Amino acid sequence: MADNIFYEFLNQDSVFIDKNKISPHYTPDKLPFRDDQIKDLSMWLSPALKSQKPHNVFIYGKVGTGKTSVVRHVVNQLDQISIENKFPLYPVYLNCRNYQTKYAVLFYCVQLFYPDKNFIGYSRSFIYDKFLTFIKDNKLNFLIILDEIDKIKDKEIDDIIYTLTRSNDELLVGSVSMIGISNNLFFKSRLDPRTKSSLCEQEAVYPPYNAQELREILTQRVNVAFKPGVVTSSAINSAAAFAAKESGDARTAVMFLLKAGEISDRDKLKQVTDVEVLKAKEKVEQEVIKSMVLTLPVQLQLVLLAITHKSDNPKGILKIDGSFEENVLYSGEIYEMYSLLAEKYDEKPVSMRWFREYITELETYGFITTMQSGKGVKGNTTLIKLGVDSKTIQNLLLKEFEA
Ligand SMILES: Nc1ncnc2c1ncn2[C@@H]1O[C@H](COP(=O)(O)OP(=O)(O)OP(=O)(O)O)[C@@H](O)[C@H]1O
Ligand SMILES: [Mg+2]
């Protein structure tokens, strides 16, 4: 038994008391600096306490600003009180990354409603009918949370919102409401004006956290996740400052400390200091890029892949004044490469107009920088430069597409 390779881990000293509580998947009971957001959301959902239809809500905010945590916290509380008082609320949470079409969303709900039945292979209209019937028969106030709603396919999104809204016209009893959550600045502009006004009946924008707020959030988590006194205050300050400088993202801040703790354990240290936080930061940044790339919608992944292919052999651009701009690509050549790749991987290529939107979107995420050719280059076109390591991104994406 003494030979077991896990023996060392079993007896290893650790800086953590409950590592789970510093994991980014953990939702703490208290969410400091989100009192106003919690209050607003509770008010918008409160009609459920009178067995009436809650408002539709759209929540936008950058990555790690507490959107999912706040919604889960408020809806859990509402669910609890509804069960106690027998209010007919039926909340369902889903992450649209895993349910990208109207059929997938409705199918998921119907399968939840009737857990003993198997609806595989049934038509769309049958599934929609079952969905309505269950809500009507049970007189439910059905509340669907569509987290990361921007991950729903472009051509399905209006249809989904429209169908869910329209259900209310077909129901004499019961209701259907939705909460949409997104960190995508462009999502709303993609909606048809009518669906936009339905979804955004009530709206909230969650601001990023500043360094002081992140420090408090981290301190609260450190107290429950680490042994007393092992995390130095300079470690907390560094983690908060790094995260505030980059994005005001609480998830990244929490990740910095989790990884720093793991580094201390690995190196058999008794403390977590700013040295481990700095090492952790480098590691986390790699992972953040990876997860950003892998969670982009497929079409954006294809555009990014096209850019990395073209970046392998960048021709650069000779300007009229004779100077040479290195590593710059023409948007036209990327569009051509993108169209070829789309075909290769069985996706329908989008029009040039959508393609331009995607380029803007990739720029907002920091993957590329763009400039107008304007001065010194013939014609007027968008020039694109990759801002991240081409090979890393390409390998990640090829693994996805070739899988
Ligand atoms: N006010 C807060 N207090 C304590 N922890 C927080 C707070 N806000 C966010 N967090 C923590 O940060 C992490 C990310 O939060 P959350 O998942 O809610 O972000 P999000 O806005 O949904 O981000 P994304 O757009 O990436 O989905 C979680 O671990 C959560 O516990
Ligand atoms: Mg979220």
pLDDT at 378 over 80: no
Note whether 228 and 338 are same-domain residues. no
Is 315 domain-assigned? yes
Which pLDDT value is given to residue 90? 98
Tell me, yes or no, whether 76 and 183 share the same domain: yes
| Average pLDDT value over all residues in the chain | 91
What is the domain-level CATH number for residue 217? Answer: 1.10.8.60
| Domain boundary, last residue among 238, 272, 290 | 290
Q: Is the CB of 250 under 6 A from ligand 1?
A: yes
**In a shared domain, residues 117 and 179:** yes
**CA 172/CA 174 separation, integer angstroms:** 7
- Residue 255, ligand 1, Cβ within 6 A: no
pLDDT of residue 7: 73
- Residues 151, 100 contacting (CB under 8 angstroms): yes
Task: Evaluate if pTM is beyond 0.85.
Answer: no
| Residue with CA at minimum distance from ligand 1 atom 2 | 31
Band of pLDDT at residue 207, cut at 50, 70 and 90: very high
Q: For a pocket test of ligand 1, which of 33, 35, 58, 68 has the largest count of ligand atoms closer than 8 A to its C-beta?
A: 68
Quick one: pLDDT at residue 117?
Answer: 93
Q: What is the Å distance from ligand 2's center to 273 Cα?
A: 29
State whether 336 and 214 are in the same domain: no
Nearest to residue 231, comparing CAs of 259, 260, 273, 265? 273
**What value does the mean pLDDT take over residues 176-199?**
93
Count of domains in the chain?
3
Angle formed at CA 103 by CA 115 and CA 101, multiple of 5 degrees: 125
- Convert the pLDDT of each residue in 294-303 to its tens digit: 989 899 999 9
Examine the domain organization and report whether 44 and 136 are in the same domain.
Answer: yes
19, 184, 251, 295: which to mutate for ligand 1, most atoms within 8 A of CB? 251
DSSP-derived secondary structure for 138-186:
TT-EEEEEEETGGGS-HHHHHHHHHHHHHHHHH-SS-EEEEEEEE--TT
Q: Which residues place a Cβ less than 5 A from the ion ligand 2?
A: 68
For residue 67, report the distance from its CA to the centre of ligand 1, in Å.
Answer: 6
Instruction: Judge whether residue 314 has pLDDT over 80.
Output: no
Tokens in use for 187?
Answer: 């999502």
Indicate the residue type of 216. Answer: E
- Of 144-148, 205-209, 287-291, 348-352, which gets the smallest average pLDDT? 287-291
Domain boundary among 267, 290, 313: 290
* Structural domain contains residue 30: no
Same domain, 272 and 312: no
Q: What's the pLDDT at 374?
A: 63
**10-19, 28-37, 311-320, 321-330: lowest mean pLDDT where?**
311-320
- Whether residue 1 is predicted with pLDDT greater than 60 in this model: the reply is no
Q: Please check whether residues 155 and 199 belong to one and the same domain.
A: yes
Q: Collapsing DSSP states into helix, strand and coil, what is residue 1?
A: coil
Indicate if 170 and 316 belong to the same structural domain. Answer: no
User: Is 131 found in the same domain as 98?
Assistant: yes
Domain limits at 189? 35-206
- Do 274 and 312 sit in the same domain of this protein? no
Handedness of CA 353, 354, 357, 363 (dihedral sign): negative
Q: Which residues contact 282 (CB under 8 A, 6 or more apart)?
A: none
Give the CATH number for residue 186: 3.40.50.300
User: What's the pLDDT tens digit per position in 128-179?
Assistant: 999 999 999 999 999 999 999 999 988 899 999 999 999 999 998 999 999 9
Ligand 1 and 152: CB distance under 6 A: no
Q: How far is the CA of 194 from the centre of ligand 2 (A)?
A: 25
Same domain for 59 and 182, yes or no, is yes
Q: pLDDT at residue 277 above 90?
A: yes
pLDDT at 73 over 90: yes
Q: What is the DSSP string of 95-151?
A: ETTT--SHHHHHHHHHHHHSTT---TT--HHHHHHHHHHHHHHTT-EEEEEEETGGG
